[in-house]
C-alpha cells in the first residue's frame, strides 16, 4: 500500500452547504469529466420532460463545463442552496470536480498526498485555527526523493518564525534559483541550505538590501489589474472585484506618494495580525502545488513564482479593500473573502500558468530581483 501524507486537519473538513458564505457553486468554472458527461446524457431532472442534464453543459476555454445560469450560479443549485443532483440522484452523479472539491489529491509512484484548497471559506477557517500546519507523516523520514527534499526544505523555511513571510519567500526563491542553475541536483546542495549559519547569512544579506515599498505597490497594482481583467469582462466576482479594481485603476493613473507610504505602513501593521494564517496558507500552497506527480525542478521554480504572485495579489486586494472601507481595523471576513476569491481566480493548472507567465514576462524563470520587488520587504 502507498504511503499517505495529509495536512493533519484534512479529515476534519465538512462542507457547510446552505450555510456557506461563499458557495463554490457560483461564478466558477465547474469542469464536467467524460464519465459524468456520459451519465448526464441519459438523465433528466424531472421525470416528465426530455431536458437531459447534458443541456446544462458547454465548452469554455477548451474544457467542458457546467453552463451557469443568469445569476452566474450552477443550474443544479436549488433555492435552499442545496444540490439538486445530489438530492435527486445521489453523490455518484456529481462531476469529479464537485465530488472532490475542496480536496486535492496527488498520486505519486510511491505515495498519495492529500490537502484542502483555500478556494473554500471553511478551509480558510480551518487553516486559521492551526497554530502550525502539521502533516500526518514526517516528511523528513522520506529522504529518498530529491524533489521531496527540496519541498521539505522550502516548508521548513516558510515555518521558521525567525524570518518574516516575505523574507522566507525570497530565501526560498534564491535557493531554488541557485540549485536550478546546476545541471543536476545533489543532496549535498540541499543539505547546505538546511544549515542554520548558511540561512542566517542569506537572511542577513536580504536585511541589508533596500526595498522601495512604492515600487512593490505599483507592481502589485498592475498585476492585480491584469489578473482581474478577464473576470471583470465576464462580470464574475463583481461585488468583490469591481470596487477595488476601480480604486486600482485610479491609483494607476496618479496618487500622492507621501500619503501612500503612510497608508502602506498602517496597513502593514493590520496585515501582520494575520501572519499565522498567511504562513499556514503558504505552507499548504507549497505542499500541494509546488510538487506534483509530473514535476521537475523547473516546474517547482515556476510554481513558487506563481504562489508568490498569488500571495502578493491577495495582499494587494486586501489592501485595496481596506483603503475602500477607510477602516483602521482589517477584518477577518475581508481577509478570508479575498483569500477565497484570488485562490479561485488563480487556481489554474500548470500548463495554463506556464502559458500566462510566458506571455506576460520576458522569461519563464524570473530573476530573483523581480520576485523581491513583487513581495517587498
Ligand atoms: S465553498 Fe466549501 S463550504 Fe462552501 S459549499 Fe463549497 S465546499 Fe461547501
Q: Are residues 77 and 162 in the same domain?
A: no
Whether residue 115 lies inside any domain: the answer is no
Q: How far is the CA of 146 from the centre of ligand 1 (A)?
A: 35
Q: In testing the pocket of ligand 1, which one of 28, 73, 101, 124 has its CB within 8 Å of the most ligand atoms?
A: 101
104 to each of 39, 43, 308, 309, how far by Cα in Å?
23, 28, 20, 21
362 to each of 154, 222, 233, 357, 373, how far by Cα in Å?
26, 16, 26, 9, 16
Question: Of all protein residues, whose CA lies closest to atom 8 belonging to ligand 1?
Answer: 15
Q: Are residues 167 and 93 in the same domain?
A: no
pLDDT tens readout for residues 104-147: 999 999 899 999 999 999 999 999 999 999 998 766 666 678 99
Whether residue 134 lies inside any domain: the answer is no
Q: How far is the CA of 340 from the centre of ligand 1 (A)?
A: 11
- pLDDT tier, 47 (very low <50, low <70, confident <90, very high otherwise): low
Question: Of all protein residues, whose CA lies closest to atom 3 belonging to ligand 1?
Answer: 15
Q: What is the pLDDT of residue 189?
A: 84
Domain end among 45, 66, 100: 100
Single pTM value for the model:
0.93
Q: Are residues 94 and 148 in the same domain?
A: no
pLDDT mean over 26-47:
84
Whether residue 151 lies inside any domain: the answer is yes
Q: What is the pLDDT of residue 191?
A: 86
Whether residue 217 lies inside any domain: the answer is yes
Secondary structure E strands in the chain:
3-6, 57-60, 63-66, 103-107, 111-116
Q: Are residues 165 and 68 in the same domain?
A: no
Query: Alpha-carbon distance 374 to 166, whole Å?
Result: 10
pLDDT mean over 144-161:
93
State which residues form the domain around 228.
143-377
Q: How far is the CA of 288 from the centre of ligand 1 (A)?
A: 19
Q: How far is the CA of 86 from the centre of ligand 1 (A)?
A: 14
Q: Are residues 54 and 154 in the same domain?
A: no
Termini Cα distance of the chain: 45
Residue 242, pLDDT > 60, answer yes
Q: Are residues 287 and 190 in the same domain?
A: yes
Q: How far is the CA of 274 from the centre of ligand 1 (A)?
A: 22
Q: Which residue has the higher pLDDT, 84 or 305?
A: 305
Residue 48, pLDDT > 60, answer no
Q: In testing the pocket of ligand 1, which one of 99, 102, 124 has its CB within 8 Å of the most ligand atoms?
A: 102
Which numbered atom of ligand 1 lies nearest the CA of 81? 5
Q: Are residues 178 and 285 in the same domain?
A: yes
Question: Of all protein residues, whose CA lies closest to atom 7 belonging to ligand 1?
Answer: 15
Q: What is the pLDDT of residue 2?
A: 83
Q: Are residues 190 and 89 in the same domain?
A: no
pLDDT tens readout for residues 315-344: 999 999 999 998 779 999 999 999 999 999
Domain end among 75, 100, 125: 100
Whether residue 193 lies inside any domain: the answer is yes
- pLDDT tier, 279 (very low <50, low <70, confident <90, very high otherwise): very high
Q: Are residues 48 and 171 in the same domain?
A: no
In the sheet with 111-116, reading across from the earlier edge strand, the strands are 3-6, 111-116, 103-107
Q: Are residues 52 and 184 in the same domain?
A: no
Our count of domains for the chain comes to 2
pLDDT mean over 162-177:
97
Q: What is the pLDDT of residue 67?
A: 92
Residue 183, pLDDT > 80, answer no
Nearest to 292 by CA among 284, 300, 301: 300
Query: Alpha-carbon distance 316 to 190, whole Å?
Result: 33
Q: In testing the pocket of ligand 1, which one of 10, 16, 343 has its CB within 8 Å of the most ligand atoms?
A: 16
Which residues have CB under 6 Å of ligand 1? Answer: 15-17, 20, 22-24, 101-102, 120, 122
Q: Are residues 209 and 355 in the same domain?
A: yes
Whether residue 344 lies inside any domain: the answer is yes
pLDDT mean over 4-8:
93
Q: How far is the CA of 127 from the centre of ligand 1 (A)?
A: 15
pLDDT mean over 245-267:
96
- pLDDT tier, 348 (very low <50, low <70, confident <90, very high otherwise): confident
Q: How far is the CA of 125 from the centre of ligand 1 (A)?
A: 12
Residues 6+ away with beta carbon under 8 Å from 238: 232
pLDDT mean over 270-298:
96
Q: In testing the pocket of ligand 1, which one of 12, 13, 17 has its CB within 8 Å of the most ligand atoms?
A: 17
Which numbered atom of ligand 1 lies nearest the CA of 15? 8
Q: Are residues 69 and 161 in the same domain?
A: no
Whether residue 376 lies inside any domain: the answer is yes
Domain end among 45, 69, 100: 100
Q: How many helices (H) and strands (E) does the chain have?
A: 16, 5
- pLDDT tier, 26 (very low <50, low <70, confident <90, very high otherwise): confident
pLDDT mean over 309-314:
98
Whether residue 107 lies inside any domain: the answer is no
Question: Of all protein residues, whose CA lies closest to atom 6 belonging to ligand 1?
Answer: 24
Mean pLDDT computed over every residue of the chain = 92
- pLDDT tier, 54 (very low <50, low <70, confident <90, very high otherwise): confident
**Rounded percentage of the chain residues whose pLDDT exceeds 90:** 69
Amino acid at each position: 500500500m502507498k504511503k499517505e501524507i495529509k495536512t493533519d486537519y484534512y479529515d476534519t473538513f465538512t462542507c457547510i452547504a446552505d450555510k456557506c458564505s461563499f458557495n463554490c457553486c457560483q461564478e466558477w468554472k465547474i469542469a464536467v469529466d467524460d464519465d459524468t458527461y456520459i451519465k448526464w446524457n441519459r438523465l433528466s431532472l424531472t421525470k416528465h420532460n426530455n431536458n437531459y442534464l447534458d443541456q446544462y453543459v458547454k465548452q469554455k476555454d477548451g474544457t467542458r463545463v457546467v453552463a451557469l445560469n443568469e445569476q452566474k450560479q450552477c443550474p443544479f443549485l436549488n433555492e435552499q442552496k442545496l444540490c439538486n443532483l445530489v438530492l435527486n440522484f445521489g453523490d455518484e452523479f456529481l462531476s469529479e470536480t464537485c465530488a472532490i472539491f475542496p480536496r486535492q489529491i496527488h498520486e505519486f509512484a510511491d505515495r498519495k498526498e492529500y490537502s484542502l484548497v483555500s478556494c473554500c471559506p471553511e478551509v480558510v477557517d480551518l487553516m486559521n485555527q492551526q497554530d502550525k500546519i502539521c502533516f500526518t507523516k514526517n516528511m523528513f523520514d522520506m529522504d529518498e526523493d530529491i524533489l521531496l527534499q527540496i519541498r521539505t526544505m522550502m516548508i521548513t523555511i516558510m515555518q521558521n518564525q525567525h524570518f518574516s513571510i516575505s523574507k522566507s519567500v525570497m530565501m526560498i526563491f534564491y535557493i531554488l534559483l541557485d540549485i536550478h542553475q546546476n545541471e543536476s541536483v545533489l543532496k549535498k546542495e540541499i543539505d547546505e541550505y538546511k544549515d542554520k549559519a548558511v540561512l542566517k547569512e542569506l537572511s542577513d544579506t536580504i536585511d541589508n538590501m533596500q526595498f522601495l515599498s512604492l515600487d512593490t505597490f505599483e507592481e502589485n497594482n498592475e498585476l492585480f489589474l491584469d489578473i482581474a481583467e478577464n473576470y471583470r469582462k465576464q462580470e464574475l466576482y463583481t461585488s468583490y472585484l469591481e470596487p477595488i479594481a476601480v480604486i486600482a485603476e485610479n491609483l494607476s493613473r496618479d496618487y500622492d506618494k507621501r500619503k501612500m507610504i503612510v497608508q502602506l505602513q498602517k496597513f502593514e501593521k493590520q496585515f501582520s495580525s494575520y501572519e499565522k494564517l498567511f504562513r499556514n496558507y503558504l505552507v499548504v500552497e507549497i505542499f500541494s502545488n509546488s510538487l506534483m506527480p509530473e514535476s521537475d525542478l523547473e516546474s517547482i521554480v515556476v510554481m513558487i513564482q506563481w504562489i508568490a504572485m498569488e500571495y502578493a495579489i491577495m495582499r494587494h486586494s486586501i489592501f485595496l479593500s481596506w483603503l475602500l472601507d477607510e477602516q483602521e481595523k482589517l477584518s477577518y471576513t475581508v481577509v478570508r473573502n479575498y483569500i477565497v476569491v484570488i485562490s479561485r481566480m488563480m487556481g489554474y493548472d500548470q500548463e495554463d500558468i506556464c502559458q500566462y507567465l510566458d506571455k506576460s514576462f520576458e522569461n519563464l524563470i524570473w530573476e530573483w530581483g523581480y520576485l523581491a520587488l513583487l513581495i517587498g520587504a
